[in-house]
Amino acid sequence: MARAIEVQSDMTLKQKLLQMNWGLVLLVTVLACIGFTALYSAAGGSLDPWASRQMMRFVVSLAGMLVIALIDIRYWHRLAYPCYVAGFLLLVIVEVMGHIGMGAQRWIDLGFMKLQPSELMKIVVVMALARYFHAATIEDMKRIMFLIPAALMIFAPVGLVMLQPDLGTSLMIILAGVAVFFVAGAPKWIFISGIGATVASVPLAWQFILHDYQKQRVLTFLSPERDPLGAGYHITQSKIALGSGGVEGRGFLQGTQSHLNFLPEKQTDFIFTLWAEEWGLLGGLFILALFGATFLYGGWIALRCRHGFGRLLAFGLTVNFSLYVFINIAMVMGLIPVVGAPLPLISYGGTAMLAVMIGFGLIMSCSIHRDSKLPRMR
């Protein structure tokens, strides 16, 4: 067994390429191609301004994903804390000199692209927690003083993201962190207490934390018909588009709600609605099946890892991406309030694409180096 682990740790490039999860690469590529098709349609049958840029981003990100996958998992274990610190510092820079767009201060203008550090923070929080819990014993997981630093790893960046303000991303960071806590073996009373505290804090959050536009989103979710031409316009048009698609859809480039500009943010948050109007229920189920296969693949990789770091990292990132899919699709269907949650690999966005591809690269690195021997250190 020890010899097998040693061999696994010192694999050649050829061996790593043979161990590469090419099925996962294919799933990611197919989902990205669906995104290109939807963005082409969103522009009225033109590659500009969205599809062509998204294609270039994907090619670069795909190369980066493969490189990340080939890098020994031991290096990612060492870099987990430095990456977390770097991500946290980027969030601080956003607060000091971030680019303001659509009433929010969430981006750093790099000239060639606008970087959204909160998207990257979703990845590095999971990395840092995976390293912290990697060497944890059953006794450690029962000690509250051991769990407090891990909780601070989650809520410190969440506080900065809330200031932007970005409630959706804040919730994603919290939920991904909770998933890592769960897999690491945190006591059940932690989760029960957290749920109770969340429910109890709802009135306080409504009164003192939520901004007016966030309150309006909740009210609109509860009754979109109260202001169909104002606050309820987005979700009302989304539901009309979903319904008009029927079972088989209206046909490629034939969507009326999107091409007559009734559907807002059709290239980002509401891109699933555009797709479902043109390709119908069957097209929507096809996307869900692809995402489902992708996340099952990620869960399978997590279960195969023999070291805690890889298991926690792969599972946490898989949960992170699956939550985004669930929230985006539930949002456009009117099942939850509207939040800023892009559909991974399909919605237009540079940082979102980069974060997703980095995440899948790390998941595949966990798979390729699943038998590597990692130091038991925090």
pLDDT in tens, 116-127: 888 899 999 999
Mean pLDDT score, 256-277: 84
pLDDT in tens, 97-139: 766 665 566 778 777 677 888 889 999 999 999 999 998 888 8
Whether the pLDDT of residue 377 is over 90: the answer is: no
Scored b (16 or more CB within 10 A) or e, 270-301 reads bbbbbbbbbbbeebbeebeebbebbbebbbeb
Tell me the two tokens of residue 127: 């990395």
Whether the pLDDT of residue 45 is over 60: the answer is: yes
Mean pLDDT is lowest, of 169-183, 194-208, 217-231, 316-330, for 217-231
Which alpha helices (H) appear in the chain, and where do they start and end?
2-9, 13-19, 22-42, 51-70, 73-97, 117-134, 138-142, 144-162, 167-184, 188-204, 212-222, 233-245, 256-259, 271-304, 308-332, 350-368
Predicted confidence at residue 99, as pLDDT, reads 62
Question: Any idea which residue has 């050829």 for tokens?
Answer: 14
367 or 108: which leads in pLDDT: 367
Predicted confidence at residue 231, as pLDDT, reads 60
Nearest to 328, CA basis, from 349, 313, 311, 307: 349
Give the whole-angstrom CA distance, residue 278 versus residue 252. Answer: 5
Mean pLDDT score, 154-160: 92
Q: What is the DSSP string of 227-293?
A: STTTTTHHHHHHHHHHHHHTTT-S-TT--HHHHTT-STTTTTTTHHHHHHHHHHHHHHHHHHHHHHH
Predicted confidence at residue 136, as pLDDT, reads 87
Average pLDDT, the chain: 86
Percent above pLDDT 70 for the chain: 91
The structural domains of the chain, with segments of one domain joined by +, span 2-368
Give the whole-angstrom CA distance, residue 89 versus residue 361. Answer: 23
- Max Cα-Cα span within the chain: 68
Its pTM stands at 0.90
Q: How confident is the model at residue 366 (pLDDT cuts 50, 70, 90)?
A: very high
87 or 3: which leads in pLDDT: 87
Predicted confidence at residue 227, as pLDDT, reads 60
Say if residues 368 and 16 touch (Cβ distance below 8 Å): yes
Predicted confidence at residue 230, as pLDDT, reads 61
What are φ and ψ of residue 136, in 5° steps?
A: -70, 140
Percent above pLDDT 90 for the chain: 47
Predicted confidence at residue 102, as pLDDT, reads 56
